[in-house]
Structure 1
Amino acid sequence: MNWQSEKKQRKIFLLVSIMIVTWTVNSQAIIIRSKGTNRQYRQGDWITYTTTRFVRNIALGQEYVYFATTGGITRYNFYSNTWDYPWTVSNGLPDNNIFLVAQDFNTGYLWCTSESSISYLESASRLWFNTFYDEIGLRGDDDISSIGFGNGRVFIVSSNGTWYASDNYSANFSPIDFSQNDDGITWYGAKRKREDAIPHYFMSDGFLFDETQNYIDDLQFRHFPITTWLKDEWQNMWIGTWGLGAGRGNTSTQRLELLKFGLWDVTVDAIAKDDDRFWLGGIQSHEEPSGITNWDMQSDDPQYYEAYLLTGFDTDKVTSIAVDGNTVWLGTLDGLTRFDRGKNIWRTYTVVHNLVDNRISDLAVDDQYLWIGTASGVSKLVKSTVGTDSLSIKHIQFHQLGKRQIFDIDLAENELWVGTEIGLFRYDIEKDHGAYYSSYVDPAARPVYALSLYGDELWYGTDEGVAGFNVKTGKRFDPPARFINDDLEINRILADRAAVWVATNSGVYKYDRDAGRWVNFTIEDGLTSNNVYALYLESDFIWFGTGAGLTKFYWNSPYRID
């Protein structure tokens, strides 16, 4: 599939049916041939949060309980009872889809296996090192089922029964013929001694634990299998589930609590923030029911909203989010959804309510109006009429805009700027009048896929690259600020005082204003996917919504020059 068709699918909302065997795994199957952590960055400069509620394996460490998930290795600090950030592709792993995790207490190294490699985290340097299966002679139809530690060595056993060994400070594995007693080896995975059966636990929030079948039921009678469990020396029972994440059982009180962490689903097309809570949603590449995430990362308290379980929330295919006081607006592929948090009421507005088109691309909110970019023009919702019998949604500038495809919108004082399929449109809100903006440099017929206002500057992206100008004087920005590149596949732009950020399907581009140059960040730097759909700037950090999760980047680190 070429990039023009891919861009058209996401921008014009023509969803393509994709054959996926198991969405919980394949949706995050980002595999890179990386030998380990990128030493240009410090650990923590790049952090990715993705879907980690599908757990395969558990290991106890000296400070953390580690969970091997389809979205990396999650780490729960059992002293502070808090989650730390997970280990993912952003930190040096070649793959987020983790099968085994193991702790070597002799060296302090943390080991794991993924679809393509065995990796270890060096305890002192906090660097990951990866060895790929083909480098140790493991065939493509085989994988690692067990990891063991003993006698100063690391042992791995494949599913076909082949043994390999290495010293415990590297991953220089060679096949061995092991015929000795392995009682002195501490095993993880298939060869680990089976834990006792899980005792009965009581749960809250409508969950029901069935210890006879080893699954958890929710209020919708959905079964979530328990995939792994492990008891620690304090008599805590740590469990992993397939769909509900990690949990901890207290044998004294017989209570089992779920330890929620991560996103409900993996693709992030929209980011909004309300105080300390992020609102995250997207268009997923699978046909399973999905939802949106509302997460305060400081308090480890994610909340999940599944559309098909909520009356008034018609679809989970979210393209944009705007937070306005106690109201959260969601632009979707099937209308405009409003969530009244005070009353806990969901409501979806469509063409029946005079919306010009149900396929929404972007939202912008001011004191009086909610502006709605759609596949057939721009609608204006009068906020004061919401919740009344006289709800007002109007199609603005019908004759000038017509039913043009709208890709992006942004507000500046009394103006609304619109990126359309045939160029930039400038709308005067007070005068209720607008016109297409063009010059000899930028023909009006060129689609504008993304735009961003900063002060008097307008930056925008077309199929020829990134350009900008001063909206007061009309002065165009010359190269290097003007970036000509017809392979960018631009999704979003965010301009700020220090830099201009461009989200594309080939990573993120940053224009450093002081240095006067463009820098490209990709998976090799710390992104978990090169398909970047959303941007949110927060002081020295910037958040990227990608096709494989939400990535946080410490862009303004004083220790590094990009």
Structure 2
Amino acid sequence: MARTLFTACLCLLNLSCAVAAADARYRIRETNRAYEQGDWMTVGATRFVRYVSIGHTFVYFSTTGGITRLNRFSYKWDFPWTTSNGLPDNDVFLAAMDMNTGFLWAVTKEGISYLEPASQMWRSAFYNEMGMGDQYITSVGFGTDRQVYVVTSDNLWYVSDNVSAQFQEMTPPLSDEFINWHGAREQKSHSLPNFFMDGGFLFDSRQRYIDDLQFRHWQITTWIKDDWNNVWLGTWGLGAARGDLNTIRLELLDFGLWDEVVDDIEMDNDAYWLAGVQEHDEPTGVTEWHGLLAKPVYYEPRLITGFASEEITSIAADARAVWFGTRNGLVRFDKRKNMWRTYNISHGIRNSLINKVMLDDHFLWLATDSGIDRIDLATVGTDSMRITALKFPTHRLVRVFDIAQQDDLLWLATEFGLFKYDKLSGDGGYYSGLDENLVSRPIFAVSAWGEELWFGSDWGVYGFNAMTDEWLAPLAKEYRTDAGINRILASHQAIWVATDAGVLKFDKRMQRWRQFTELDGLADDRVYAIELDGDYIYFGTARGLTRFYWNNPFRND
């Protein structure tokens, strides 16, 4: 077995522990027993790998986005272990299996966790509750005496039985040859062959990094050799890889998202387009995600001619193109020609800060910080692309946050209230058919289903019948919250609301509201996007894409 740079990766943990004292209310102590494993799944940015180990069935990659699991026999990915499944944090510094028991142990900035193989339940022990203070675990070892040993950053030893995390401080033994170590105390081999790679990548075994065509160095952080002449590697930025020692070839095993903030989700046949405005200044990208069994495709705007902005707020796709609304214009990806182009105010768009893009059969609608623009799709790609600006009464410039289509009507969520626009006649005006104090407030999200219209303001969520101008039944009419509403998705069975404090669901049959948070399985309580796909619903969050099996017939939410 071989490792390198593990100690360098662990040094980041000391900083994390110092600045990230967890609020006890949000500590995830174990797997939520109200759900089956797999009901919740989060896929995040797993390109940054800290450690790799081999278990009975899987190769485990400890990443900043959870523990990714590749079946070592079929070479297929399974869903990752994250906070959605019971881990206390997604930034995992070390994960390793005790081959004697089948228990999987994981070290995070919060403490140490273990997965029981029979129940598939995660349980955690936290540093401050174990009396470790500001220390953090650098090594985990499994002894032939049925004990689990950990060594901390202060070189203190702790021991527990191998089926719990009841750690007690101990005196180090004279010899630790009976312990199979993972982490800093693991015996390391520093040799790697010069693997050959496709796609313009160059493998440098001496410097331990991979070069790409842009002359970027992607550091190799960890590796391990198995019994079948495979070398499993982790990198800092390119994810996991498998090297074949027989052919001396290395294959990148792309998985997960390029970046973690997901501001919008767009379903496009068998793919999902995912992107967002990130919380860092590093180069970011767009992910074309094809599920667990196919490789994702990544697009980096800084490397693509015609892709002028990487701050993506909204996505819309049809058979020919994918449209990206950004904070600096509109980007179009022609799928047939594999060409990108950016449109901004110089092309006739009223404002380059776009909050929402929406397609219908003939037009692309842009909700911007200055109003609504309509692009005639038949003129796209010509020298005279036709862009029309909608006029608002009483206000020349209106910030529009969201758009919903209801037959031939468009409903606009604006800073001055709810705006109703008839696409056939071209007439429009601020809606005042109900309580004017409610509908004339800033509206941030809107969604339609049948005759129902749902909208969200700084006061809460409201629903009414747009055909009869009547409020819905009392529990549906109003849900007061100051959580900060980002998106609403109305459907046949339920209304889903993405907020800064989790997800709200209104069950139409049961006539009740329900809130989902990180304690249920969300990657983060800050939820920005919603996409319904049959029995599953996807949430774009500040920490990745979360999938929820909402229509499980054996569970009543």
TM-score by length of 1: 0.94
User: Is 2:495 aligned against 1:500?
Assistant: yes
Which secondary structure state, in structure 1, belongs to the residue aligned with residue 151 of structure 2? strand
- The CA distance in 2 between the partners of 1:25 and 1:335, in whole Å, is 36
TM-aligned CA distance change 1:354 to 1:25, over 3 Å:
farther
> Which residue of 466, 481, 484 corresponds with 1:489?
484
**Corresponding residue for residue 162 of structure 1:** 156
* Residue 195 of structure 1: how far off its partner (Å): 2.6
Which secondary structure state, in structure 1, belongs to the residue aligned with residue 346 of structure 2? helix
**Corresponding residue for residue 128 of structure 2:** 134
User: What do the CA deviations read for 1:457-480 (whole angstroms, capped 9, x no partner)?
Assistant: 110001111111111111111321
* Residue 528 of structure 1: how far off its partner (Å): 1.1
| One-letter amino acid of the structure 2 residue matched with residue 195 of structure 1 | S
Aligned sequence identity (%):
49
**Corresponding residue for residue 84 of structure 1:** 78
Contact 1:269 1:320 in 2 (8 A): yes
Contact 2:461 2:481 in 1 (8 A): no
* Residue 401 of structure 1: how far off its partner (Å): 5.6
TM-aligned CA distance change 1:326 to 1:440, over 3 Å:
closer
TM-score by length of 2: 0.94
User: What do the CA deviations read for 1:31-68 (whole angstroms, capped 9, x no partner)?
Assistant: 64121101011100100000000000011001100000
Contact 1:30 1:528 in 2 (8 A): no
* Residue 341 of structure 1: how far off its partner (Å): 1.2
**Corresponding residue for residue 386 of structure 1:** 380
**Corresponding residue for residue 7 of structure 2:** none
**Corresponding residue for residue 195 of structure 1:** 189
TM-aligned CA distance change 1:255 to 1:30, over 3 Å:
farther
User: Is 2:421 aligned against 1:427?
Assistant: yes
TM-aligned CA distance change 1:383 to 1:400, over 3 Å:
farther
* Residue 399 of structure 1: how far off its partner (Å): 4.2
**Corresponding residue for residue 236 of structure 1:** 230
Contact 2:111 2:136 in 1 (8 A): no
Q: How does 1:323-472 map to 2 (within 5 A)?
A: 323-399=317-393, 402-443=396-437, 444-472=439-467
User: What do the CA deviations read for 1:302-337 (whole angstroms, capped 9, x no partner)?
Assistant: 011111100110111111000011200000000000
Contact 2:79 2:292 in 1 (8 A): no
> Which residue of 499, 521, 527 corresponds with 2:522?
527
User: Is 2:319 aligned against 1:315?
Assistant: no
TM-aligned CA distance change 1:380 to 1:30, over 3 Å:
farther
- The CA distance in 2 between the partners of 1:494 and 1:402, in whole Å, is 29
| One-letter amino acid of the structure 2 residue matched with residue 561 of structure 1 | N
User: What do the CA deviations read for 1:489-525 (whole angstroms, capped 9, x no partner)?
Assistant: 1000001111000000010000011111000000111
> Which residue of 137, 140, 151 corresponds with 1:144?
137
- The CA distance in 1 between the partners of 2:297 and 2:21, in whole Å, is 26
Contact 1:30 1:95 in 2 (8 A): no
User: Is 2:76 aligned against 1:48?
Assistant: no
- The CA distance in 1 between the partners of 2:553 and 2:171, in whole Å, is 52
* Residue 428 of structure 1: how far off its partner (Å): 0.8
- The CA distance in 2 between the partners of 1:560 and 1:445, in whole Å, is 39
**Corresponding residue for residue 100 of structure 2:** 106
- The CA distance in 2 between the partners of 1:429 and 1:318, in whole Å, is 27
Contact 2:458 2:482 in 1 (8 A): yes
- The CA distance in 2 between the partners of 1:344 and 1:463, in whole Å, is 41
- The CA distance in 2 between the partners of 1:488 and 1:274, in whole Å, is 30
Q: Which runs of 5+ in 1 are unaligned?
A: 1-20
Contact 1:532 1:544 in 2 (8 A): yes
* Residue 486 of structure 1: how far off its partner (Å): 3.7
Contact 2:463 2:478 in 1 (8 A): no
Which secondary structure state, in structure 1, belongs to the residue aligned with residue 356 of structure 2? strand
* Residue 276 of structure 1: how far off its partner (Å): 0.9
| One-letter amino acid of the structure 1 residue matched with residue 123 of structure 2 | F
- The CA distance in 2 between the partners of 1:39 and 1:487, in whole Å, is 29
Report which stretch shifted further, 55-64 or 442-451.
442-451
**Corresponding residue for residue 543 of structure 2:** 548
User: Is 2:21 aligned against 1:35?
Assistant: no
User: Is 2:293 aligned against 1:288?
Assistant: no
Which secondary structure state, in structure 2, belongs to the residue aligned with residue 449 of structure 1? strand
Q: How does 1:200-239 map to 2 (within 5 A)?
A: 200-239=194-233
**Corresponding residue for residue 58 of structure 2:** 64
TM-aligned CA distance change 1:537 to 1:84, over 3 Å:
same
- The CA distance in 2 between the partners of 1:53 and 1:68, in whole Å, is 10
- The CA distance in 1 between the partners of 2:407 and 2:353, in whole Å, is 26
Name the Cα RMSD after superposition: 1.7
Q: Which runs of 5+ in 2 are unaligned?
A: 1-11
**Corresponding residue for residue 266 of structure 1:** 260
Contact 2:28 2:83 in 1 (8 A): no
* Residue 254 of structure 1: how far off its partner (Å): 0.7
- The CA distance in 2 between the partners of 1:400 and 1:107, in whole Å, is 71
- The CA distance in 2 between the partners of 1:547 and 1:160, in whole Å, is 34
User: What do the CA deviations read for 1:118-151 (whole angstroms, capped 9, x no partner)?
Assistant: 00000000000000011221121x2111000011
| One-letter amino acid of the structure 1 residue matched with residue 205 of structure 2 | E
| One-letter amino acid of the structure 2 residue matched with residue 354 of structure 1 | G
- The CA distance in 2 between the partners of 1:440 and 1:275, in whole Å, is 39
Contact 2:528 2:541 in 1 (8 A): yes
User: What do the CA deviations read for 1:80-116 (whole angstroms, capped 9, x no partner)?
Assistant: 1111110000000110010011110111000010001
- The CA distance in 2 between the partners of 1:262 and 1:484, in whole Å, is 35
Which secondary structure state, in structure 1, belongs to the residue aligned with residue 474 of structure 2? coil
Report which stretch shifted further, 258-267 or 468-477.
468-477
Count residues in correspondence: 539
TM-aligned CA distance change 1:223 to 1:159, over 3 Å:
same
- The CA distance in 2 between the partners of 1:122 and 1:30, in whole Å, is 27
Which secondary structure state, in structure 1, belongs to the residue aligned with residue 222 of structure 2? strand
Contact 1:543 1:550 in 2 (8 A): yes
* Residue 402 of structure 1: how far off its partner (Å): 2.7
Contact 1:195 1:229 in 2 (8 A): no
Contact 1:480 1:516 in 2 (8 A): yes
- The CA distance in 2 between the partners of 1:465 and 1:99, in whole Å, is 40
- The CA distance in 2 between the partners of 1:229 and 1:250, in whole Å, is 13
* Residue 456 of structure 1: how far off its partner (Å): 1.1
- The CA distance in 1 between the partners of 2:289 and 2:556, in whole Å, is 31
- The CA distance in 2 between the partners of 1:114 and 1:285, in whole Å, is 21
- The CA distance in 1 between the partners of 2:509 and 2:247, in whole Å, is 59
- The CA distance in 1 between the partners of 2:479 and 2:407, in whole Å, is 30
**Corresponding residue for residue 477 of structure 1:** 472
* Residue 202 of structure 1: how far off its partner (Å): 0.3
**Corresponding residue for residue 4 of structure 1:** none
Which secondary structure state, in structure 1, belongs to the residue aligned with residue 207 of structure 2? coil
User: What do the CA deviations read for 1:384-416 (whole angstroms, capped 9, x no partner)?
Assistant: 111111111111124466311101001122211
**Corresponding residue for residue 10 of structure 1:** none
**Corresponding residue for residue 531 of structure 2:** 536
- The CA distance in 2 between the partners of 1:100 and 1:460, in whole Å, is 44
Contact 2:301 2:310 in 1 (8 A): yes
| One-letter amino acid of the structure 2 residue matched with residue 344 of structure 1 | N
* Residue 440 of structure 1: how far off its partner (Å): 4.6
Contact 2:392 2:398 in 1 (8 A): no
Which secondary structure state, in structure 2, belongs to the residue aligned with residue 515 of structure 1? coil
* Residue 178 of structure 1: how far off its partner (Å): 1.6
